[in-house]
Structure 1
Amino acid sequence: MPAKVRRRPRRCAHVRECGRRAELPRARRTRQHADSRRGRAAAPCPRGPLMEKPERLTHVEPIEALTARLERERMDADRSYNDALTAVPSLPKAPPAFDSSRVADLNRLWNTLPGGPPAVDRSLKGRLRSFVWRLVGPPFESQQRLNSAVVDHVNRNVAAHEETSRTLSVLLDATREQAAALVRFQSLLVQYFQTITAYVDSKDRSLGGSELRERLALTEQRLLALKRDVERSAPHAGAGLARVDSGEAPAPFGGAVDSLTYVAFEDCFRGLPDEIRGRVEDYVPILSAAGDVVDLGCGRGELLAALRARGVRARGVDVNPAMVELCRTQGLDAQHGDALSYLGKQGDESIGGLVAIQVVEHFAPAYLLKVLETAFHKMQAGAPLIIETINPACWMAYFETYLRDITHRQALHPETLRHLVQASGFTRVDVQFRQPVREMDQLRRLSAAAPELAGPLGQLAAVVNDHADKLNARLFSSMDYVVVGWR
C-alpha cells in the first residue's frame, strides 16, 4: 500500500520567499555573506500589510499650552544668556601684609661673636684659648658670615615686600570695581538685546502679515464651509430651518459651532476663569451649609469648582453645549438645557441652594418670572437664592458691559430684581453691590484745602465737587450687584 504523501500548507508569497532564503544551501549562504561584506546587501523580504508597524500617534498640543511653553523657553534662554554674559570668575583675596615684626630682632641678634675671636698670648691660658679657638672657631665664624648675609638680604627686601603687598591690594580692588562695572554694562546690553529682539520680532510679524492674513482668510472660509456642513447634517436642522422660514430668529451662539465662539467671547470680555473664580469665592460661605446646590448658567464652571473644593455637592446647567463640555472635562456635574426646563424636572423642595451668576439679564421678563416662581417651589425651606447680574444703574456698567453682549435680553434695575424676588415668595431679600468702579475711572474732586481756592473760587470748587459726587453715584458706582434671598 503506497505511503500517504503529506501536503505542506500553502503560504503567502513573501513568507515563502523569506523561508526560501532561510533554507538556502550553505554555499549560497556563504556567497550572500560575502556579497554583504563587499557592500552588495541582499534585498530584504518585503513586509505585508499586516507586518507593517503602526505609525505612532502624535499628541496635539493646545495653542495656549504651546504659547506658554514657548514663552517659558524664551525667558529661560534670556536668563541663561544673561547669566553667561554677566558671569565673572571670583577674584582671590588680597595677600596678607608683609610681617616685619622680627626684623629688628634679626638686626639685634645676628652677631653671635660681638667681641670677635678671643685674645691670644704666650701664656698658658692664651695658648689654651688659641688651641680651643682653632678647633671651634671656624664654625662660629661661618655662622657669623651666614647671619650677616641673611640679615643684609632681609633688610634690603623689606621695603620691596611691603610695596608688593600694597600694590596687589590696590590691583585687586581696581579689578573688582572694573568687574562690577562690566557686569552692569553686560546687564544693560542684555536689556538692549531684548528690546532689539522684540523690535525684530515685530518687524518679522509685519513683513509676514500679508501672507498670514491670506492664510487666515482661507482658514475662515473653510471653517464657515464646515459649519454649514455640520448644520445641514444636524438631526434638528429641519426644525431650525423651519423656525427661520417662519420668521423666528434663531438664538445667537446656539449652534454647536457658534457655542465655541461664545466661550471665546467670555474669555475675552468677561474675564479669565481664574479671575472669575476669585469673584465667586464670596458666595461659597453662604452655600457651604447647603446640601444640593444648582448653578443656573454654570458657564465655565468656576463656582462649581469652588464648591467642590469645599466639599459642597453642586450641579450646573447651561444652554451652551461648549460650556457644558468644558465643565465635564474638569469632572464637574453639568447638563445641557435651559434653566426653566431643568428646574421643572426637579422634585419639589429638593434643591438646597440656587445660584444664577450673570444669567438673568439673558432672560425675557416672562421667562424670568416663571423661573423665579418655579425655583421657589423646587427649593428647600431655608435654602439660599443668589442672583448676580450687571448693574444698569451704573452707566459705565450699562455701556461697557451690558451692551457689549448681544445675548442680553433685559437689563434689571437692582430695586426691580429685588421686588421680583420678594414677589416670588422669598424672604430676607438683600441687595449687595459688587465690583466698584476704580477711583482712577471716576470724576476727580477738587481739593478744597488748596490755597488758590480761597474765597469765591472755594465756593465754586464745593459746587463742582458736589456735582462730581452726584455724577459718580450715577455713572461710576458699581459694575455688578447681587440679590440674596431665602426660601
Structure 2
Amino acid sequence: MSDVRFTRSIDKAHLARLKAAREEADAAYNAALSALDAALPAVPEMPHPAAPADEAQVTTLNERYAVLSAAPVVGGLKGLLLKPVLAVVAPYLARQEAFNAALVDHVNRNVAAERSVRESQAALIETLRIELERLATFHSALIVYLQQLTPYVDTKDYEFDGLAMRRLEDVGEAVDTLHHRTVGPGGAISGVGDELNKRLERLAVHERRFEARVAALDAAHTQLAQSLGVVTRATQTLKREVERLVEREPRSGHRAPEPVAATGPLDVESAGPSAASDNSFARGGIESFKYVGFEDQFRGSTTVIRERLKDYLPVFAGQQDVLDIGCGRGEFLELLRQQGIRSRGLDINHEMVEECRQRGLDALEGDALGHLRGLPDDSLGGIFAAQVVEHLQPDYLVALLQRAHDVLRPGGVLALETVNVACWFAFFQSYVRDITHVRPLHPETLAYFVRASGFPHVDVQFRSPYPEAHKLQHVPGSDAMHYALNANVDTLNSLLFTHLDYAVIARKP
C-alpha cells in the first residue's frame, strides 16, 4: 500500500466559524421575530356609546301637560265672573291640552327608542373590544410559539455537518494510523473498515432522522403562516367594522333618535333583517375573511394568479369598459390598468372588494345579474369572469349569459374561465375542494349555452396543462404487450391528467 498520510479538512477553527455563523443566523432570526412582535397592531381604543338623552324634564312634562282638565273649580261670585271667560277660552285650552298630550307621548316614545339604541350600541362596542383583545392575545401567543421554534429549526445545520465531517475524519485518521502501525495491516484495516461502515450507517440514520424533523418543522411553520394569514384578515375585518361604527357616530357625541311612529311602542323586530346580513360563506360579512384566506391558500398567491391571467390580455386588446365579474383580489384589474384598458371589478364578497379598493382599483360589491340589468344595452366592451360560472345555479347562469350578450357592444368580448371537470384530477382536486361550487360545467355544455345566448362563434381554449413529468409514463419496450400497455397509459392520461382549466371566449357580432 502507498504511504499516504491522512489530512484533515475540518479543523477546530473551521468548526468555530461554523458555530459563529449559526449563532449569527439565530440572532438575525430572533431580531426578525422581535421586529414582527413590535409591528403587531395594538388594540384600538373603542368609541364610547352616545351620551344619554336629557330626561330631566320628562317627568315634569308628564305631570303638567293637562292645562284644562286639571284647572281648579272656582265657586261664588268669582266663579260666576269666570264662567263666560272660560266659555270663550275653553276650546283653545282644550286644543292646547291635546297638543301637549301628543307632544308628551312623542317625547316618551323617543326617549325609549334612544335608550334602546344606546344599549345596543354599548353591547356592540363591548363585543368588538372583546374580540380585538382575543386577537391581540393570539398574536402574542403566536410570537411566543414561533420563538420556541428557533432552537429546533436553526440549530444543528452548519454545526451538524461540521461535526459529522469531523467524526468521519477522526475515523479516517484512526484507519490511517493503524495502517502505519499494524504489522498485519490487511486484517487490521479490514476490521476497522467494518467498524467505519457501522458508524457511517449510524450517521446516515441520524441524518435521516434530522431531515425528517426539519421537514416536520417546515410543515408546522407553513401551517402557522396560514393561520397567521387568517388571523390577520380577521383583524382587518374587525378594524373596518370599528371604523364604520366610528363613522356612524355624530361628531357632537350625541345620537339623534330614530323616527318612531306615534301610534304605538317601538318594535325592534318590525324592520326585518338587514340586507347586508347575508350569512353566505363566500359573501360579505364578518366571516367573509375566511373565504379570502381559502383563496390565498388553495387557488394561489396574487403573483401566481396574475401571471396566469396575463394570457387573457390579448383577448381584450383594443377594448374599453371591461367588467371583471368575480374580480376577487383584483389581479386581472391590475393587468388591465397596466395596459391602459378602462375596467371595473364586481364581487359579492365584501373583503375582496375592500382589498381591491385598498390597491386603488375600481371595484363594486354586488350581484352580477343585478348589476348587468342596471346597465344600458351596448355599454360594455368586454366581460371577464374567471372561476365564477361554476358557482351559479343553471337558471341564473342562462339569464346572466343572455344579459351579457345584450350589454356588450358589437365586437365586444365575453371570456369565461372555469375548472375543466372533464379532467378527473381537476374535478377531484380543484372542483370538489371548494364548498361554494354549485354545479360542474363540461366544456361542451358551457359552449352550447354561450352560443344559444346569441354568440355565433365560440372558441373553447384549454389552459393550465398538467405537468408532463407527473403524468403516467410509458414503459420502455417495442413488443405488442408494451405497445398495448402504453396505449392504455395514453388513454388514462387523457382522462385523468389533461388541462386543469378551460375558457369559453366569444365575440358579439
TM-score, normalised via structure 2 length: 0.49
Is 1:310 paired with 2:339? Answer: yes
Question: What amino acid maps onto 1:473 in structure 2?
Answer: S
Structure 2: state its 5+ residue gaps: 1-37, 43-138, 159-208, 249-267
Identity %: 43
**1:251 shift after superposition:** 2.4
Q: 2:430 aligns with which of 394, 398, 401?
A: 401
In the alignment, structure 1 residue 369 sits paired with structure 2 residue 398: yes
2:484 corresponding residue in structure 1: 463
CA contact (8 A) 1:390 1:402 kept: yes
Query: Per the alignment, in what secondary structure is the counterpart of residue 380 of structure 1?
Result: strand
Question: What are the superposed Cα offsets for residues 6-43 of structure 1, whole Å, 9 maximum, x if unpaired?
Answer: xxxxxxxxxxxxxxxxxxxxxxxxxxxxxxxxxxxxxx
Match of 2:407 in 1: 378
Q: Please tell me whether the aligned partners of residues 317 and 335 of structure 1 are also in contact (alpha carbons under 8 angstroms).
A: yes
CA gap of 1:461–1:308, structure 2 versus 1, over 3 A, is same
Contact 2:284 / 2:348 at 8 angstroms: preserved in 1? no
Moved over 6 A (4+): 195-203, 233-238, 241-244
1:156-175 superposed Cα distances (whole Å, 9 cap, x missing partner): xxxxxxxxxxxxxxxxxxxx
Q: By how many angstroms is 1:252 displaced?
A: 2.4
Residue equivalent to 2:171:
none
The 5-angstrom pairing of residues 438-457 of structure 1 reads 438-449=467-478
Q: For structure 1, which runs of at least 5 residues remain unmatched after alignment?
A: 1-57, 83-194, 450-457
Query: Which has the bigger relative contact order, CA under 8 A and spacing at least 6?
Result: 2
User: Residue 478 of structure 1 aligns with which residue?
Assistant: 499
Q: Describe the superposition over 1:243-290 as per-residue Cα deviations: whole angstroms up to 9, x where unpaired.
A: 99xxxx952233412211000000000000000000110111121210
Q: CA deviation at 1:202?
A: 8.1
Query: Does the CA contact (< 8 Å) of 2:281 and 2:291 recur in 1?
Result: no
Of the three residues 334, 348, 371, the one matched with 2:363 is: 334
Change (3 A) 1:322 1:243: closer
Q: Structure 2: which amino acid aligns with 1:471?
A: L
Residue of structure 1 aligned with 2:313, choices 284, 306, 325: 284
Q: Match of 1:410, SS?
A: coil
Shift in Å at residue 200 of structure 1?
9.6
User: Residue by residue, what CA displacement relative to the aligned partner does 1:413-443 show, whole Å, maximum 9, x if unpaired?
Assistant: 0000000000000132110100111123321
Q: Deviations over 1:138-162 (max 9, x none)?
A: xxxxxxxxxxxxxxxxxxxxxxxxx
Larger Rg: 1
Q: Secondary structure at the match of 1:427?
A: coil
1:165-176 correspondence runs (5 A): none
The 5 Å alignment of 1:27-426 reads 60=40, 250-426=279-455
1:383–1:486 CA contact under 8 A, matched in 2? yes
Note if contact 1:243-1:250 (Cα within 8 Å) is conserved in structure 2. no
Which amino acid counterpart does residue 432 of structure 2 have in structure 1? L
Query: For residues 236 and 369 of structure 1, do their structure 2 counterparts lie closer, same or farther at Cα, with a shift above 3 Å needed?
Result: farther
Moved more, 419-428 or 433-442: 433-442
Whether the 8 Å contact between 1:284 and 1:307 is mirrored in structure 2 is yes
Is this contact kept in 2: 1:240–1:250, CA < 8 A? no
* Counterpart AA for 2:319: A
SS at match of 1:354: strand
Distance change in 2, residues 1:201/1:423 (3 Å): closer
Deviation, structure 1 residue 242: 11
Is the Cα–Cα contact under 8 Å of residues 276 and 285 in structure 2 kept in the other structure? no
For residue 331 of structure 1, give the secondary structure of its aligned residue in structure 2: coil
Structure 2 counterpart of 1:156: none
Cα distance change, pair 460–364 in 1 and its aligned pair in 2 (3 A): same
* Residue aligned with 1:434, SS: strand
Are the aligned partners of 1:394 and 1:474 in contact in 2 as well (CA < 8 Å)?
A: yes
Alignment partner of 2:409: what SS? Answer: coil
